[in-house]
Amino acid sequence: MSESLTTVDTAKKLGILPEEFEKIKEKLGRAPNFTELCAYSGMWSEHCSYKNSIKWLKTLPKEGPHMLAKAGEENAGLVAIGEGLACAFKIESHNHPSAIEPYQGAATGVGGINRDIFTMGARPIAQLNSLRFGNIDSDRTKWIMRGVVKGIGNYGNSFGIPTVGGEVFFDDAFEQNPLVNAMSVGIVKEGKTISATSYGVGNPIYIVGSATGKDGIGGAAFASGDLTEDSAKDLPAVQVGDPFQEKLLLEASLEVIASGAVVGMQDMGAAGIICSTAEMSAKGQHGMKIYLDKVPTRQAGMQPYELLLSESQERMLVVVIKGQESIIEKIFDKWDLPCANIGEVTAGEKLEFYFEGEMVADLYADHLVLGGGAPQYDREYKEPAYYAEAKKFDANSIPQPKDYKEVARFLISHPNIASKRWIYNQYDSMVGTVNMSTNEPSDAAIVNLKDSNKALAVTVDCNSRYVQADPEIGTMIAVSEAARNIVCSGGVPSAITNCLNFGNPYNPEAYWQFVGAIKGMSAACLKFSTPVTGGNVSFYNQCKVGDKVVPVFPTPTIGMLGIVEDKKHQTGIGFKQAGDHIYILGNVFVDCINSSEYLYSYCQVKNTPAPNFNLEEEYQLHQLVKDLIRSKVIQSAHDVSDGGLICNLLESGFVRQKGFEINQTMDGRKDAFLFGEAQGRVVVSVSPDQIKSFTEVVKKHTLFAESLGIVTNGEVKVDKDNWGHIGDFEKKYLNSIEEKLN
């Protein structure tokens, strides 16, 4: 090798700690050259190695009755859904790229997560997203939001996969550092998946898809550091996507997998070629010999380290059975995609990279990867001062509002609650004709499985404010709400994927939030039998406030998959007809305004405990709702969440322009009754001829069903006070975000 050896100062510039540099020298038996050090920089970055999170991630529950691939085994989670079908699904972040180049940052996030699905042999059928932005009134937030939404819409629409659901949350905490989490769901026949592995000495290795450029170089390291005022200088670390190329790659990849000529396949995401070669080789316990000058490029003069680390989009690494090269080449030629033989599988575990006749890197695959030689750390954590201060909150210090109707109008038009139609109208939700929630909105999106009585129920959920208030309880709530949404829609929760968005892991208070979230997630997933199939950790999400750098609100986004065992169980949120009775189920007598949108945004009281929550009562509520749906005794079901009971009722009324007449029959604060966000509650409507049957089902369970009132033809009355017509509230609900953006 002709390259000179590197020093600890070079390592520091590449984000490698001094002790890590010493570990690299120990593993190699020498100092690495620059290309090798770049390989370690990418592979040992937080984004690829999970070095500050893996020890806690290993504590998450991974066992479940439907599991076909456990967390970390493949590019995405895989669960059996019956009738010989399996579902591959995963969620990942693209936060830092979206902060400095919103359009491409979001677009390539969508492209990357879809590749994780079809690389396994599954056809993507649905997309969801979870977005966090700053104050919607700020110009920066509007710029980021417009770019992100356009990027998601343009890429997803062009790729031809419907966006069926999602969530959007605004807070000053995300002003400088938005969160862009993308989820993809795909379907494959059981036993027809392919693994991201490499074996078979002499088997050729192909790079397929787009040509390689300098976009995205160092992207993994970029995602593993703080955003600063100088981050815009790192713009080359943001990839550029081409959805039409990805569509071709999807069809070609599925055809290649079906041909039987492929040993293994992996998407080239973070850290590019070095990541794909290292992970596939380590998994298959074989080596590779790669000729980097054979990689098709779209920019002249690319250096070996650039070829190794480029994160150019729409590329795959494919290990082919020797002698079947012509099959692969013909398929990719048919789809007009570059397809180049760049090396071969070797015995042993060495990765040898050559460029213009010289070896430029000589590495051990296992030394580079998570679960192998990549470092693993136990970080310090401590409870932040704000947590103890929040416990002192006394609801009695909050006076009752003078006008409850005014509060309701404020909440239903608040950006965190108001209609997101300005966003979802830019997404194609109907392509592929699988979205069953368009005409009958439900708490979770219902995705049709054609030629089957079954459907999928999918959702993404997390209230960042609850997790900020109490990471452990807030994350339990995130899992519980996801499960509650699936149950209210007629499904049975099956498994989750997660996207863990937190601050700097070297900040003990930020790491305390991460540890608490993992504990809460474990407890809730065990309770609901929803194992963790995998996901993504995104650290270093923070903002500068004055002279201090503070983490964003911790956001462990939960992407949950559920199975609707029979499509006749599909249940919407909308009230059906005037005269139906309205009941609230679950923990109905709780007097709680903690961390509610009402308290936080209307009363401007920011630091309070998480809402009331009881995991066992939540579980019992889900069993009751399942029983009611399967007994066919309710007309609608809608969980009480953001904005409390009043927003729940208004949203149910908007679907068919129905109103409601309710009365507070429970003791306690009226603002808590109307606007509180205590968990473990669901509102259902029941036709008069089903009241007796409804009551009989409820009696079999341990929870309460409290009568609230009746559905009306449009009038809204609360405690006999006439609040007007449902249409007046709907105008504010539909137009609020559009008015702010326009």
The β-bridge relationship of strands 659-662 and 704-712 is antiparallel
Alpha-carbon distance of 513 to 508, in angstroms, equals 9
The contacts of residue 462 (CB under 8 Å, 6+ apart) are 130, 167, 475, 478, 555, 556, 557, 558
- C-alpha span between 664 and 651 (Å, rounded): 19
Residue of 47, 66, 367, 581 with catalytic role: 47
Pairwise CA distance, residues 522 & 517, whole Å: 9
CA–CA dist 109, 180 (Å, integer):
8
Distance between CA 719 and CA 672 in Å, rounded? Answer: 14
Strand 77-82 to strand 67-69: parallel, antiparallel, or no bridges (unpaired)?
A: antiparallel
Cβ-contact 649, 717 below 8 angstroms: no
Distance CA 207, CA 596 (A): 51
Q: Which residues contact 397 (CB under 8 A, 6 or more apart)?
A: none
Active site residue 47: yes
Backbone angles phi, psi at 110, to 5 degrees: -65, -45
d(CA 183, CA 590): 34
DSSP 43-80: HTSHHHH-TTTHHHHTTS----TTEEE-TTTSSSEEEE
The residues near 291 (Cβ < 8 Å, ≥ 6 apart) are 342, 343, 354, 355
CA atoms within 13 Å, Cβ hemisphere of 92: 27
Q: In sequence order, which residues have a C-beta less than 8 Å from that of residue 577 and are 6 or more positions away? A: 635, 658, 687, 711
Could you please report the per-residue DSSP string of 545-578? ETTEEEEPPPEEEEEEEEEESSGGG---SS--ST
Please state the length of the chain. Answer: 742
Structure tokens at 15: 């984000």
- The angle subtended at Cα 200 by Cα 196 and Cα 201, nearest 5°, is 125
Consecutive H or E run containing 543: strand 542-545
For residue 709, list its beta bridge partners. 582, 662
The Cβ of residue 142 has, within 10 Å, a number of other Cβ atoms equal to 17
Can you read off the two tokens belonging to residue 286?
């074989």
Q: How far apart are CA 166 and CA 75, in angstroms?
A: 22
94 is a catalytic site residue: yes
Q: How many CB atoms lie within 10 A of CB 452?
A: 14
Catalytic-role residue among 94, 96, 569, 638: 94
- Give me the phi and psi of 334, to 5 degrees please: -60, -40
Helix (H), strand (E) at residue 328? helix 325-334
Say which amino acid occupies 695.
Answer: T
> What string of DSSP letters covers 589-645?
T----TT-HIIIIIS-----PPPP--HHHHHHHHHHHHHHHHTT--SEEEE--TTHH
Give the three-class secondary structure for 5: strand
The SS3 assignment for 693 reads helix
Active centre residues (catalytic): 47, 94
